[in-house]
Amino acid sequence: MHKSVDVSADAMIDDLRTLVEIESPSRDLDALTASAKAVAAVIESRLGGQAILVESEAGPHVHWSAGGDPKVLILGHHDTVFPLGTLERRPFMVEDGHATGPGVFDMLGGLVQALHGLATLDDRSGVEILVTADEEVGSRSSRALIEERALACGAVLVFEGAAEGGGLKTGRKGCGTFQVSIAGRASHAGLEPAAGVNALIEASHQVLDIAALGRPDIGTTVTPTVASAGTLDNVVPAEATVIVDVRVESADEKERIESAFAALAPHLDGAEIAVQGAISRPPMPESASAELFAVAKRLLPDLEGKAVGGGSDGNFTAALGVPTLDGLGAVGGGAHADHEYLVIEAMAERANLVAGLVNAIRNT
């Protein structure tokens, strides 16, 4: 069993400050390039070797390998949801046992913990690190690389923030977004309303049909989240759009929901419907994490495992049948919110956990 090693919280905070203070909003290629270079520099300073920037249309991903037969993939992302300028309004701070600032919990803190945990190992052979640039926007440019390295390594540790209370994430719902576009026909709302086809009324019918697809009793949620319609108050609206968030726990439900969206039909004569989207992240079943979670429990017996609704890149690796354990990152909360925070006291323990997991995986 891995023996805990003293890890410097101060050194981890220094590295965290470095990464947080280089803002990295998704889709901002200049910002993401600067962020990727900073991540690579921190990796190299803590672990040696060379971190490679893998260019993509979404910005650079960062890949590092210790060499040897690949055994375990450390997976994370350096993009954040916060726009440029957030740091000025909400600077990195350490106070009352918490670190705050944009991205500390999701997921720069987890990345720092992983690096410092790995740094305690004299032998890092078989370890790879992949830090992507587009997780927050669907991982379209990184998915193939993630899947390739996961299959090559055979085990994946994901450093997204921990579940509420510090638990690891042993299962995740599949998730996706659908856009339903409705085409009607404009007419004067006062002079000849019957000559039009009211896209807003059609959208209202569709929202009710779509919401009825949910099966919360088996973990399927179908939530219309954004709608738009109309141009002027005296014009029958010719167009409307409805955006829908979907979460499912099983592959069968993924198929049912996607088929149901494809089969949506108009209620009004003359209305037309077009559907875009899919459940792009497949479900991560708890079976995918069972073996690795058992190892984590041996290292930290008080750990809890929780299945959660949000998706991560762990969904992709689990769907390949690669053992995947998620939520190994920062203990804290407030992902995507202004009150985002990281619990400093937990950092050393979680850094040692990654070292213990890596040793256990390589020795099996």
CA–CA gap between residue 163 and residue 232 (Å, rounded):
46
Say yes or no: 334 and 211 in one domain. Answer: no
How does pLDDT run along the chain (364 residues), one tens digit per residue? 455 667 999 999 999 999 999 999 999 999 999 999 999 999 999 999 999 999 999 999 999 999 999 999 999 999 999 999 999 999 999 999 999 999 999 999 999 999 999 999 999 999 999 999 999 999 999 999 999 999 999 999 999 999 999 999 999 999 999 999 999 999 999 999 999 999 999 999 999 999 999 999 999 999 999 999 999 999 999 999 999 999 999 999 999 999 999 999 999 999 999 999 999 999 999 999 999 999 999 999 999 999 999 899 999 999 999 999 999 999 999 999 999 999 999 999 999 999 999 999 999 8
Give yes or no: residues 95 and 145 share one domain. yes
Decide if 135 is catalytic.
yes
- Full residue range of the structural domain in which residue 273 is found: 174-281
Q: Are residues 135 and 43 in the same domain?
A: yes
Q: Do 205 and 66 share a domain, yes or no?
A: no
- Contacts of residue 10, Cβ cutoff 8 Å, sequence gap at least 6: none
Final residue of a domain: which of 246, 281, 316? 281
For residue 350, give the nearest of 155, 197, 203, 162 by alpha carbon: 162
The answer on 114 and 70 residing in a single domain is yes
Q: What is the CATH number of the domain that holds 253?
A: 3.30.70.360
Domain count of the fold of the chain: 2
Spatial contact of 18 and 33, defined as CB atoms under 8 Å apart? no
| CB neighbour list of residue 6: distance below 8 Å, 6 or more residues apart | 348
Task: Tell me the residue ranges of DSSP E strands in the chain.
Answer: 52-54, 61-65, 72-77, 93-95, 98-100, 127-132, 156-158, 168-172, 174-183, 221-229, 239-248, 272-281, 305-308, 324-325, 332-333, 341-343
Closest CA to 152 of 128, 131, 135, 125: 128
Domain assignment present for residue 14? The answer is yes
pLDDT at 3: 59
Assigned domain for 1 exists: no
Query: Is 185 found in the same domain as 48?
Result: no
184 and 238 in contact (C-beta within 8 Å)? yes
Q: Per residue in 12-29, pLDDT tens?
A: 999 999 999 999 999 999
Residue 158 and residue 45 share a domain: yes
Angle value at C-alpha 291, between 288 and 295, nearest 5 degrees: 135
Q: What is the mean pLDDT of the chain?
A: 97
311 found inside a domain: yes
Check residue 4 and give its pLDDT: 64
The answer to whether residues 148 and 85 belong to one domain is: yes
Catalytic residue among 106, 135, 160, 253: 135
* CB-CB contact of 35 with 90 (8 Å): no
My answer on whether 60 and 78 are in the same domain is yes
Answer with the one of 281, 302, 334 that is the final residue of a domain.
281
pLDDT (0 to 100) of residue 152: 98
Q: Is 183 within the bounds of a domain?
A: yes
In a domain, 235, yes or no: yes
Catalytic one among 79, 134, 136, 249? 79
Query: Whole-angstrom distance between the N-terminal and C-terminal Cα of the chain?
Result: 12
User: Does residue 184 lie within any of the structural domains?
Assistant: yes
Three-state DSSP class for 68?
coil
**Residues 222 and 168 reside in one and the same domain:** no
Q: Looking at residue 72, which CATH number applies to its domain?
A: 3.40.630.10
> CA quadruple 139, 140, 143, 145: dihedral positive or negative?
negative
Where does a domain end: 263, 281, 299? Answer: 281
Let me know whether 145 and 57 are in one domain.
Answer: yes
15 shares a domain with 115: yes
3 belongs to a structural domain:
no
Give me the pLDDT at residue 1, please: 47
Is 0.85 surpassed by the pTM of this model?
yes
The answer to whether position 230 is within a domain reads yes
